[in-house]
Amino acid sequence: MGWFILAQVFTILISTVRIGRMSEQEKDLEILILRQQLAILQRKQEKKPVKTNRTEKIVLAGLTAKLKAVTRWSAGQMRSVIRIF
């Protein structure tokens, strides 16, 4: 249990440093991507199988492309933001 707590604290510290180094535009794009994913997951909570529709996929793809262009992140770094797709 102690290792789990230590890992969580370390993860929060790393995230805090990473967020502090981001520009406002990068933060805004990340928030939009996370909100879109949250909306999809909230539909899943209704116990129905979730299928993302074409519009949601296009919105997520566009936001992701914009975030990647602004941040120049690698695919591995993008995985920390994009949870579903």
- In this prediction, residue 24 carries a pLDDT of 87
> Span 36-45, mean pLDDT?
80
- In this prediction, residue 42 carries a pLDDT of 79
pLDDT at 49 over 70: no
Work out the angle between the directed axes of helices 24-44 and 54-71 (0-180°, nearest 10).
Answer: 150
The residue type at 20: G
Domains of the chain, by residue range, sit at 23-85
Tokens for 84?
A: 């579903």
Percentage of residues in the chain with pLDDT exceeding 90? Answer: 0
Closest listed residue to residue 52, CA positions, set 85, 30, 29, 79: 85
Tokens for 12?
A: 């929060």
How far apart are alpha carbons 48 and 40 in whole angstroms? Answer: 11
How far apart are alpha carbons 30 and 35 in whole angstroms? Answer: 9
